[in-house]
Amino acid sequence: MARLIALVSDSTSVDQEMAKRLDVIVVPLKVVIGASSYDEDAAASPESVAAALEQRSPVSTSRPPPEAFLREYEKAAKAGAEAIVSIHLSGEVSGTYESAELAGRDASIPVVTVDSRHLGMGTGFAVEAAAAALDAGASAETAADVARERAAATTALFYVDTLEFLRRGGRVGVAAALVGSALAVKPLLKVEDGRIVPLEKVRTSGKALIRLEELAVTAAGRQPVDIAVSHLANAERADMLARRLRERVHDVHDLVVNQVGAVIGAHVGPGMLAVVISPH
């Protein structure tokens, strides 16, 4: 039976498999490669973005306009939804949440918007928690609160081969201070209150990945956690890190390995490796 409260997110946070499993309506962001614009997932793959970046082709991204959200909100209303919970990536790095919020004001049914203050699976785990709450009979406001609480308790750590792609997109914030030494170090970063901030500088990629593992184990502690290991064009190392975390983390409820979508990939560049730790 369809939910009376619809759940909406965006393509940076929920992939097609997850959308189907959780019954989530996904609004795509746009990826521009050269002079061509594509919807994320439908036409722009992580592989195509990684290849374009490696070839130094111009790659940029853009948020969905409010009209794109409003169309989905009204479709949900016509399908019988009485309210909507709309959960999105951090408003500090994208205007997607703002578009969702603007659309919600014009929707024919109530829309509760959530700025997860996270990216990728940091938002995805919040969507997962909201879906479980709605399936258990929660109100839209309660499900939104559950999503915010899950996101606030989540830790997102990541490694990039270079800060150049984050710098180009203006997403590094205070991490821009690291750009001058980016060729000499391998930066570790984290998501903090919706922003990407520097965490540590490590001299080699091997040491960076060892340190990423240590930080993830510490963040997990002894509580039950869900873990996501995400990458862009770095599948072998992602699988290795996932195996190590499964062995070392005390109580792993679920562990997923995935490749980030084209939009996030455009800003982090090939080689990126991320770990998201979320209390279950």
59 lies in some domain: no
Q: Do residues 88 and 145 both lie within one domain?
A: yes
Please name the helix (run of DSSP H) or strand (run of DSSP E) that holds residue 159, with its range, or none.
strand 155-159
- Residue 142 sits in the same domain as residue 237: no
Do 183 and 139 share a structural domain?
no
211 and 137 housed in the same domain: no
Q: Which of residues 130, 152, 174 is at a domain's end? A: 152
Is 148 in the same domain as 9? Answer: yes
Q: Which CATH number goes with the domain that contains 269?
A: 3.30.1180.10
One-letter amino acid for residue 224 of the chain:
P
Asked if 127 and 161 touch (Cβ cutoff 8 Å), the reply is no
* Residue 71, domain member (yes or no): yes
Final residue in a domain of this structure, among 152, 183, 208: 152
Burial of 229 (C-beta count, 10 Å sphere; 0-12/13-18/19+): buried
Residues 23 and 148 in one domain: yes
Instruction: Report yes or no on 41 lying in a domain.
Output: no
Q: Which domain holds residue 257?
A: 155-279
Residue type present at position 261: G
The DSSP output letter for 63 is: P
One domain for residues 164 and 144: no
Same domain, 144 and 220: no
Number of domains, the chain? 2
pTM: 0.90
What SS3 state is found at 120? coil
Q: What string of pLDDT tens digits covers the 280 residues of the chain? A: 468 999 999 999 999 999 999 999 999 999 888 888 888 776 677 778 888 887 888 888 899 999 999 999 999 999 999 999 999 999 999 999 999 999 999 999 999 999 999 999 999 999 999 999 999 999 999 999 999 999 999 999 998 877 766 666 555 554 454 544 545 677 889 999 999 888 888 878 888 899 999 999 999 999 999 999 999 889 999 999 999 999 999 999 999 999 998 888 888 888 889 999 999 8
Question: Is residue 36 in a domain?
Answer: no
Position 15 in a domain: yes
